[in-house]
Structures are given as C-alpha cells and as structure tokens.
Amino acid sequence: MNLGILLWNTCDASCAHCAVSSSPTEARVMSNSDIKRIIDGAFLDGKKPSIGLSGGEAFLHLADLLEIVAYAVQKGGRVSVNTNCHWAQDMAEARRIVRLVKNAGVHKLVASTDTFHKKYIDDQCVIHAVNACIEAHLEIEIQYVATRKTERMFEFIEKHADDLVNITCREIPCHPVGRAEKMKRSALILRSKLPKGTCPNAVLSVSADGRYIPCCNTAGHLKALEMGTIAENQQVVARRYAHSPVMRKLWEKGPISFVASAQAAGFVPQPLGYVDQCHLCHDLFKDTEISAQLKKLADQEAFDELYGTYQAYLQD
Ligand code: SF4
Ligand code: SF4
C-alpha cells in the first residue's frame, strides 16, 4: 500500500504559503520507531509500496532520515523524499548529501523552490542539488508553487534553463490553507467555474502529529476527512480508507458531486471560484456541520448501491 509520511513539522523555513504551517519552533512528535512501525504497515498487503517522505523539512534530522529511508528500502519500498534543498549551499556539500541519500536507497528527490521559499533558501541551492543528482544518477524533480503575484515557474526555468534540461518541473497553484489561508483572493490563480476534476492523487498519509489523513493536499488535514491515528491497526485504517464512501465519491465523481447537497445544507460556493478541485474539496469539508451532512449522504448512497446489488442478486 502506497503511503505518504510527514515525518516532522519542523522546518528551517517558515514560508508564507506553507499548507502545514511548518517552522523552526514546531516540535517533533513521532519517533523513529513510530515511523518504522508505520512503514511496516505499508507492507501488510504483500505489495512493494511507494513511500513518500516529507515534512516540515525531511533533511533537518539527516541521520534519522537516512535510518528511516534505509529501513523502508531494505523492506522493499520505493522511497522518495521532498526537500527545500537548504543543505545544498555549495556543490561539495550537495554532492556529499546526495551521495548519502543515494546510498541509503532513495529513489527520487522532490525539490521545492518558488518566491516563498526564496525568502529563506536561495534557488541556487536547488540547482546545486539538481546537478549533484545528475552526477549521482539520482532522479530529482522540482515543484514550484505560484500565485498571480509571485514569479511563475517559466521564469525560474528561463533563469536556469541549461541546468534544468531533462528535469521534470511542476507548477502548483497556491491553495489558501495553512499559513496561506489569509492570502488575498486576487493573488490566487482562481478559475471562475466549479472544478469538475476527480480527486487527483490521494495517497493515504500520516501527518506529523500521528493522524492518518486521506492525502497531503489541501483538504487532507481537515478533521472531517481524518482516517484514524497511528495508535490503531494500520490494516483497519487502510480498509477504512479504501472503502470510505466519501473517498470513493471523491475518487469516482470528484468534489463537485457534493456541491448540490452541500448547498442544500447551507454551503455557498466561493464567488470568485476555485484554484482546483482540491480547493473545492477543502471548502466543502471545512465546516463541521456541512461535512457531517456530506458524510451522511455518501454513506446513504453507498448503502443504496449495496442494497441495489443485493436485490439484483436475489432476482437473478
Ligand atoms: S513550504 Fe516547505 S520549506 Fe516552506 S515552511 Fe513549509 S515545509 Fe518548510
Ligand atoms: S480531492 Fe480532496 S481528498 Fe482528493 S487529493 Fe484533493 S484534497 Fe485530497
């Protein structure tokens, strides 16, 4: 079972757009043995999982990160790690650290940079990391969060074009959650129509404070969508996730399929529109009462579907 783990919420930066409000003062909650137990759970279905490690800043506790990566890789996992690349101040250091993570068995690094990150970490660090990864034959991709008021990814690519040949770069629109919640709507890359997309890439994840959450995206951290805690049996949580009527509806029909029922319960769509379906998902499930109604609706629909199948079986 694929899994995302937010190792700790501590970070050397405090970016204004951080969806999980990471900062240097955030205390670490889960121990290495907690995290290894969570990793063990990802293998219970007998498959070899992809495990995404992020934070906070995963490289902040480098020795712990390497221990955790080696553990997951020895069990047969395919591990990727997100980082802000603060550790790649110069090429010598970038090479040293990349060699360590490569030797531990990391499959891919995902490097973040953008206008928000640049306040704390020069984007040249990301370029050092890219070049060190190229030399070490370690895959690296870049994530770039943008608003209408910040630099866009094409400007970053233009600036570093030669270093980024063959490197996957992904621009992600900033979502107004976490520290970005107060961002002016005029800054967001909003579309006026309700987004029709289905849930894009939800992977069961563990938050840095030990909760199972349906994804690391915008709505993933909402109480209403929580799937359990790490104190529970992970197979039970995984089943709860796979069979969750709300998640099935999000996967199959997208957040837009909840809008009419939410409106009947008092939900008013944002007049300026949404960044994407994950922003809509967050808006739908952030209110306790409305989200309770939506869960009830999804449960009822799942029951009706099952009952319909049962009746069809009886008639055959
Ligand atoms: S966005 Fe990344 S680098 Fe910035 S504060 Fe959050 S975890 Fe740290
Ligand atoms: S649609 Fe909702 S559950 Fe799916 S990835 Fe987006 S925020 Fe997460």
Residue 316 — pLDDT band, cuts 50, 70, 90?
confident
Q: What is the set of domains in the chain, with CATH numbers?
A: 3-189 (3.20.20.70), 250-315 (no CATH)
Residue 273 φ/ψ region, left for φ over 0, alpha for ψ in the -120 to 50 degree band, beta for the rest? left
At 202 the pLDDT is: 82
Number of neighbours of residue 113 by Cβ within 10 angstroms: 26
What percent of the chain stands above pLDDT 90?
Answer: 93
26 pocket-lining for ligand 1 (C-beta < 6 Å):
no
Residue 119 — pLDDT band, cuts 50, 70, 90?
very high
Summary mean pLDDT of the chain: 96
Q: Is the pLDDT of residue 114 over 90?
A: yes
Contact criterion met (CB below 8 Å) for 71 and 5: no
At 315 the pLDDT is: 85
**Ligand 2, atom nearest to 281 Cα:** 2
Residue 49 — pLDDT band, cuts 50, 70, 90?
very high
pTM of the model: 0.95
Distance 227 CA to ligand 2 centre (A): 13
Which residue in 46, 105, 45, 113 sits closest to 80, CA to CA?
Answer: 105
Residue 201 — pLDDT band, cuts 50, 70, 90?
confident
pLDDT in tens, 262-307: 999 999 999 999 999 999 999 999 999 999 999 999 999 999 888 8
Tokens of 53: 């490690």
Q: Span 64-80, mean pLDDT?
A: 98
**Alpha helices (H) along the chain:** 32-42, 62-74, 91-104, 115-118, 123-136, 153-159, 234-242, 245-253, 259-264, 277-285, 288-315
Q: Span 26-48, mean pLDDT?
A: 95
Residues with CB under 6 A from ligand 2: 199-200, 202, 214-215, 217-220, 250, 255, 277-278, 281
Number of neighbours of residue 168 by Cβ within 10 angstroms: 12
Residue 161 — pLDDT band, cuts 50, 70, 90?
very high
Ligand 1 pocket check: which of 57, 83, 181 to mutate, most ligand atoms within 8 Å of Cβ? 57
Residue 174: nearest ligand to its CA?
A: 1
Q: At residue 284, what is the residue type?
A: L
Please give the Cα distance from 175 to 282 (Å, whole number): 9
From the centroid of its chain, how far is CA 109? 14
Residue 313 — pLDDT band, cuts 50, 70, 90?
confident
Residue 24 — pLDDT band, cuts 50, 70, 90?
very high
Residue 279: nearest ligand to its CA?
A: 2
Q: Is the pLDDT of residue 199 over 80?
A: yes
Distance 208 CA to ligand 1 centre (A): 13
Residue 240 φ/ψ region, left for φ over 0, alpha for ψ in the -120 to 50 degree band, beta for the rest? alpha
Distance 254 CA to ligand 2 centre (A): 9
Residue nearest to atom 4 of ligand 2 (CA): 199
Which residue in 235, 232, 277 sits closest to 254, CA to CA?
Answer: 277
At 209 the pLDDT is: 96
Contact criterion met (CB below 8 Å) for 145 and 101: no
15 pocket-lining for ligand 1 (C-beta < 6 Å):
yes
Q: Is the pLDDT of residue 314 over 90?
A: no
Please give the Cα distance from 27 to 34 (Å, whole number): 15
Beta strands 228-229 and 211-213, pairing class: antiparallel
